[in-house]
Amino acid sequence: MIKVNAIGDACPIPVVKTKNAIKELNGPGTVEVLVDNEIAVQNLTKMAVQKGYEIQSQKLEEQKYQVIMTVGEGGEGMEKQEDTAEETVCIPDSRNHKIVVISSGRMGEGNDELGEVLMKGFIYALTQQDELPETILFYNGGAPFTCEGSPALEDLKQLEAQGVEILTCGTCLNYYGLSEKLKIGDVTNMYVITEKMMQADSIIKP
């Protein structure tokens, strides 16, 4: 693994440093990048998607984010020598004033097992969007998604690292006995949930 410290670096330096580190791999391998803001994470994520790298990201603490890119066997996603500096651009914040509301562990009506698979797939698909929601609200049956044992934790960590606010209803956590098991985001209340919904340009409920 090659480690890149880009904390304090302005765009496009984190992307440039990461591209150089990937070239140093000269084959399959992993690059870990540390940055201090969500926009840098968004830029690195966009680059990874374009190049075909596997990527994971998470917020470690305030103003410290970890991005891990993996180049696969056979050199998938390797940087090409003809890549030019013009390809390295600073994208604007990709978050928009949309709210995603997840109030169930399942998506749609019908088979419960299928519904659970669909909801997990929906959360993953959010990580692949060019425009991200500003906030994801979890309440009632959706509350366990932010807690220990959730199948969506890694996807939610990646979204949080890109600046998406993750909020879970505190009353719901208490009801389900999950107050001590929250692993991602913050606890919220019905006043904040209502305020977020009222101020949103649009609300998406899968």
Please state which CATH class domain 95-204 belongs to: alpha beta
Which residues lie across from 141 on neighbouring strands? none
Contact of 204 with 98, CB cutoff 8 Å: yes
The rounded distance, in Å, linking the Cα atoms of 45 and 67 is 8
Cβ-Cβ contacts under 8 Å for 111 (sequence gap 6 or more): none
The rounded distance, in Å, linking the Cα atoms of 137 and 193 is 7
> Between 160 and 96, where is the model more confident?
160
Taking the complete model, does pTM exceed 0.85, yes or no? no
Starting at the earlier edge strand, list the strands of the sheet with 95-102: 186-188, 165-169, 132-138, 95-102, 202-204
Q: Where are the domains of the chain?
A: 2-87, 95-204
- The alpha carbon of residue 43 and the mean position of all alpha carbons in its chain are separated, in whole angstroms, by 12
Tens-place pLDDT, residues 172-189: 999 999 999 999 999 999
Contact of 119 with 106, CB cutoff 8 Å: yes
Tens-place pLDDT, residues 73-130: 654 444 444 444 445 667 777 777 899 999 999 999 999 999 999 999 999 999 988 8
Angle between helices 13-25 and 38-51 (to 10 degrees): 40
CATH number of 2-87: 3.30.110.40
Q: What is the predicted pLDDT for the residue at 90?
A: 78
The SS3 call for residue 16 is: helix
